[in-house]
Structure 1
């Protein structure tokens, strides 16, 4: 699927899913701004970002940082046609044994960062006239279980944010959708769940394929959608 000429920003770009999205977008001909809280990609993955504009050490939840970052990204890319909000975090803990700081952390990383990035990118996206925002939710947020309260609450917020922003922008040339993965096949998840059947998990590249479809002209009529990408979980 060609994205030739498209200018795309990806948050959480240096992680497993973010890197898959960056690689897929570059391979499809897009120009990419790769944004992450980490200072730089891990040396073992640096080659994947060779053709991207890198923005490391960016805390999108901090006041004013998102605006500065996206203004510079749009300047370097010559505009902005799409924003992929991949930045996220996970913690498992019960309320009884856990801390309120975890709720604040997951709100900031999973929801506030997507809101801040979208708001900061919006002026450039509106100038595009045919722009896309794709958020990363979580299938688990449909029904929470023990230890998943803080995580699923923040991801449920991504659901409602996606729907509200899609409605806000539906007549302004910007579609807004969310991907809802189940367990993603990443090194971190394999380490945390060594006895799981990894073949059932959804691969980062498979999620990236769905995102690229949403960025294409073929998805122009899709907005406000919460799209499960479940693998065989």
Structure 2
């Protein structure tokens, strides 16, 4: 049976992206009250839940977002962070601006969102923080140094937060997909075989489970998903 999140308030950061197009509807189908946040949320997501505009790499914007969520929904049960971006380049060829951009899109939002959500969740004694990282953080590949370092930092953040929140009722977990089967990745890698890539639907199923009451004893996990992950 599908995971039930009936009555839970879920904030999905980066919900307007390609992955969000699958994740947001999956959480809505689970019965959750979904709030999707993005720099430019698609208008159609207002039908599926509530869409908010926010730059989650900006501290003040994240603070306002969390205040708006609590004011609108009364509480926050689950934070799902889908924010991320890819750029190729070996470290020796990486300009400092690209380095900062990879950190700003792959690591900083996770820190700011988690930090902003924690006071509310710890005060209630319950909550779920879920971040989408990448299998490359465990098994790096050549040619995307800044991206992989940023995703590795996200993996470390998940583990550190899980230690800090032990016994609080708030859990922190990460999902580590291999290459995700999105239209953008298909367009950027036309000669690749997408049959081995991670399906967005599989990520959605895993995230909804981790958001559920049944996953209450799982924290600090970094779960590989995809054909090449063990």
Secondary structure at 1:16's aligned position in 2?
Answer: coil
Are 1:79 and 1:128, in contact at CA under 8 Å, matched by a contact in 2?
Answer: no
Query: What's the TM-score once normalised by structure 2's chain length?
Result: 0.94
The aligned length equals: 227
- The Cα of 1:232 is off from its aligned counterpart by 5.3
What is the rounded CA distance, in whole Å, between the counterparts of 1:16 and 1:203 in structure 2? 12
Q: Which structure 1 segments of 5+ residues have no match?
A: none
- The Cα of 1:203 is off from its aligned counterpart by 1.0
What is the rounded CA distance, in whole Å, between the counterparts of 1:215 and 1:137 in structure 2? 16
**Superposition pairs of residues 146-225 of structure 1, within 5 angstroms:** 146-225=142-221
Are 1:139 and 1:228, in contact at CA under 8 Å, matched by a contact in 2?
Answer: yes
What is the rounded CA distance, in whole Å, between the counterparts of 2:48 and 2:185 in structure 1? 28
Are 1:202 and 1:232, in contact at CA under 8 Å, matched by a contact in 2?
Answer: no
Q: Deviations over 1:158-202 (max 9, x none)?
A: 111001101111211100000000000000000011121112111
Are 1:81 and 1:128, in contact at CA under 8 Å, matched by a contact in 2?
Answer: no
Matched, 1:54 2:37: no
Secondary structure at 1:122's aligned position in 2?
Answer: helix
Matched, 1:69 2:65: yes
The 1:30/1:128 distance shift into structure 2, 3 A limit, reads farther
2:136 pairs with 124, 140, 147, which one?
A: 140
What is the rounded CA distance, in whole Å, between the counterparts of 1:88 and 1:110 in structure 2? 5
Partner of 1:87: 83
Partner of 1:26: 28
Partner of 2:41: 40
Secondary structure at 1:64's aligned position in 2?
Answer: helix
Matched, 1:112 2:108: yes
CA RMSD of aligned residues (A): 1.5
